[in-house]
Amino acid sequence: MWSKVYDWLDERLGLEDLYKGLLDRPEPHGNWWNTLGSASLFIFIMQGATGIFLTVYYTPSPDHAYDSIQYIMNGVAFGWLIRGIHHWGASLMVLVVFIHLLRVFYTASYKYPRELTWIIGSFLFLLTLGMGFTGYLLPWNQRAYWATTVGTSIAGTVPFIGPFIERALRGGTDISALTLSRFFSAHIWMLPALLTALIGGHLYLIMRHGESQFPELDD
């Protein structure tokens, strides 16, 4: 019975080919440091899942943002857990992605033929920092407000185009309702869309070239 179902699905989906192409691949002898990439992906998925739940109650307006987070923390069943995971996951993601970057650097895995994997990876790192920066403002508390004030004013010191960047980030001269809706939109739509696309490219390249082996003395 089950083998018939499997055969039917296999004929249409090509499960056997998927297994051979994706899973049953040879790899160089592994190392625990090699798990950091998949760990980054896992935290990204966790952040996505908890983030989607948070948007159910979160309201990106200065009048309601703070109160909606208070409600998530105190009123919603397990809201504190979802927000806690999202809060700590943000810090952990920056940390894990950075250590992953260092691992790739120290094992020189960015060299031929994996240059493009590194370039995409470095954009993924910068986007992760961007996610942290935009997400930090959303709770609309003192810490968030002043961190964003400082962060956007640093962008304003760039010669010539600085004042323009600062105004574009803030949506005006000061941190306001526009800044909050801009950061919210970037945090839940623009940056995650870019991240997802680049993660896809990153994974394709890893499958194309295989996981790099740890360098030996003659490498």
Residues from 91 through 130 that contact other proteins (CB under 8 A): 91-92, 94-96, 98, 102, 105-108, 110-115, 118-119, 122-123, 125-126, 129
**129 to 188, contacts with other proteins by CB under 8 A?**
129, 132-133, 136, 139-147, 149-151, 154-155, 157-159, 162, 174-175
d(CA 113, CA 159): 37
Closest CA to 73 of 88, 60, 54, 90: 54
Q: Is residue 77 part of the contact set for other proteins (CB under 8 A)? A: no
Q: Which is nearer to other proteins, 87 or 185 (CB)?
A: 87
Beta-carbon contacts of 36 under 8 Å, excluding residues fewer than 6 positions away, are: 96, 99, 100, 103
Place of tokens 């490498």: 219
Is 53 near other proteins (CB under 8 A)?
A: no
The secondary structure of 157-173 as a DSSP string is TSTTTHHHHHHHHHTSS
Contact flag: residue 49 with other proteins (CB under 8 A): no
* CA distances (Å), origin 130, targets 123, 139, 186, 215: 10, 16, 9, 32
* Residue 18 CB, nearest approach to other proteins (Å): 11
The interface region with other proteins, picked from 1-9, 52-60, 86-94, 196-204 by CB under 8 A, is 86-94
Q: Return the number of the residue (8 or 174) whose C-beta is nearest other proteins.
A: 174
